[in-house]
Amino acid sequence: MNPDPKLLKACKRGDRRAQEQLYRMCFPALMGICMRYFRNESEAITALNESFLKILNNYHKRSTSTPFLAWIRRIAINTAIDKFRQEKSYKTHIQAGYEYGLDEQKEAAFQINEAELRLDAEAIEKMIQELPPMSKQVFNLFAIDGYSHQEIGDLLGISAGTSKWHVSFARKELKQKLIREGLIIQKADML
């Protein structure tokens, strides 16, 4: 996805039609991110629109070496993280992580039963939404969006070790959910 420069110029001039065209173009990528980071559609749309406004206002600052899609994804993620950090319960989320302890347990080997896998994307998304907020954000950043633990630590104001713990915790929780659904087979010999 790389929008026509003429379209971007028209957007900058304030041409509403061009802006709408760009909005429709960016919507799938932005919405996918926002829905993962927020609890409901309303919050996701608010964050999406704020991200789009940033895209409109800052397009000229974008490095030409950065692909457009990667750039708008990063804007959406940063917007989501900013909003998450603004939440009153943010500190609570951080502290809550320590209550679980940072000892990463060795996970048992398992195999996903692809044959039995009939869950749709909505159900998968729901599983992630049910994670504790901080674990959800860290898992999203690490597993889906490809951030390193150090980057996550910088973004969320936690240590890289805490980030690792949240990822581990999220994996364990998600695995339990998948087991409950009968979607993964625990390898008994490796327990």
Partner 1 sequence: MKEKHPIDSFFKEKLANQQYPMKEEYWSAAADLIEAHGGRKRKRFLWLFLLIGLLITGSTIGYNFSTNSEEELLALRELTSTTEYKTDEYVPTLAGVELEKGGIAVKEVESKPFLSTENSPESRLKMLGNASPLANADIQAEREVEEKRSADQEKINPEYANRVLDALGLEKPALEDQKVDRGVGQRTKEKEQVIDYKARVLDERAFELEEQKQSNPSFHYPGRASRRKHQFGLDVGYAVNKGIKDPTSSGQSLGMSPVIGISYRQRFNANLEFISGLRYTQMPSLAGDSTFTSTDFSFGAQVEGINIKALSLHQAEIPVQLAWYVSPRSKIIGGVYFRYLINVQSEVSQFESNPFESTPGPINRAWGYKQGFSDLDYGLQLGYFYHLSEGLQIGLETQFGLKDIRDNAFYRINSFDRNLNARIILRYHFLN
Would you tell me which residues interact with partner 1 (CB under 8 A)? 14, 16, 19-20, 23-24, 27-28, 31-32, 35-36, 45-46, 48-50, 52-53, 56-57, 110-112, 119, 121-122, 124-125, 127-128, 139, 142-144, 171, 174-175, 178
Q: Classify residue 50 by its DSSP letter.
A: H
Q: Considering the complex, state which of residue 88 and residue 103 has its C-beta at the smaller distance from partner 1.
A: 103
Structure tokens at 57: 């206002």
Burial of 20 (0-12, 13-18, 19+ CB in 10 A): exposed
Q: Considering the complex, state which of residue 153 and residue 173 has its C-beta at the smaller distance from partner 1.
A: 173
Q: Considering the complex, state which of residue 15 and residue 62 has its C-beta at the smaller distance from partner 1.
A: 15
**CA 92 – CA 133 distance, rounded (Å):** 10
Q: How far is the CB of 101 from partner 1 (least distance, A)?
A: 20
**CA 136 – CA 145 distance, rounded (Å):** 12
CB atoms under 10 Å from CB of 18, counted, come to: 19
Q: Considering the complex, state which of residue 36 and residue 93 has its C-beta at the smaller distance from partner 1.
A: 36
Residues 6+ apart with CB under 8 A from 64: none
Q: Classify residue 66 by its DSSP letter.
A: S
Q: Cα 56 vs. chain centroid, distance in angstroms?
A: 22
Q: How far is the CB of 89 from partner 1 (least distance, A)?
A: 24
Q: Considering the complex, state which of residue 90 and residue 133 has its C-beta at the smaller distance from partner 1.
A: 133
Q: How far is the CB of 65 from partner 1 (least distance, A)?
A: 23
Burial of 32 (0-12, 13-18, 19+ CB in 10 A): middle
Q: How far is the CB of 7 from partner 1 (least distance, A)?
A: 15
Q: How far is the CB of 79 from partner 1 (least distance, A)?
A: 12
